[in-house]
């Protein structure tokens, strides 16, 4: 792999990681100051907003991958981190994956918003 290719991979993964950090921070802070239900609702709102912001930055400044590829990479990293870091290491339970509002709606919105943002930005060029 060329050094330029490595930086491209790091750039894409760093953007995906930023979405995961935004969602994780929302959950961590929310659980400390609000009810579970309210925290999950806020998380379901923050996930697509964070994805929109990150995708806009990524596609306008870098755009190394097509919209579908980017959406797959972003959601793959988020799912990986949720599964291995949050569920298995921190919670020691897969119960979080039974929550539609807490897990599946945010996953779907991250994928869809990233993909649609990519389509919009790349067609606008």
Q: What is the pLDDT of residues 87-100, one digit of tens each?
A: 999 999 999 999 99
- 32: exposed, middle or buried (C-beta count within 10 Å: 0-12, 13-18, 19+)? exposed
Q: Please check whether residue 78 is in contact with residue 17, taking contact to mean a CB–CB distance below 8 angstroms.
A: no
Positions in the chain short of pLDDT 70: 1-3
Q: What pLDDT is stored for residue 1 in this prediction?
A: 46
The residue assigned the tokens 């930086």 is 7
Distance between CA atoms of residues 97 and 88, nearest Å: 11
**Which residues fall within 8 angstroms of residue 34, CB to CB, at 6 or more apart?**
42
- Angle of helix 105-124 relative to helix 67-81, nearest 10 degrees, comes to 150
Give 3-state DSSP helix, strand, coil % of the chain, rounded to 5.
Answer: 90, 0, 10
At 125 the pLDDT is 82
d(CA 9, CA 23): 22
Give the distance between the most distant pair of CA atoms in the chain. Answer: 48
């Amino acid at each position: 792999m060329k050094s330029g290719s490595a930086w491209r991979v790091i750039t894409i993964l760093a953007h995906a990681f930023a979405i995961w950090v935004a969602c994780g921070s929302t959950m961590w802070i929310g659980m400390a100051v609000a009810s579970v239900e309210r925290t999950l609702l806020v998380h379901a709102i923050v996930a697509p907003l964070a994805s929109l912001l990150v995708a806009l930055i990524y596609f306008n400044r870098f755009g190394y991958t097509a919209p579908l590829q980017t959406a797959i990479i972003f959601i793959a990293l988020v799912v990986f981190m949720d599964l291995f870091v949050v569920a298995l290491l921190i919670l020691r339970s897969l119960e979080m994956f039974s929550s539609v509002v807490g897990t599946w709606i945010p996953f779907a919105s991250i994928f869809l918003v990233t993909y649609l943002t990519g389509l919009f930005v790349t067609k606008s060029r």
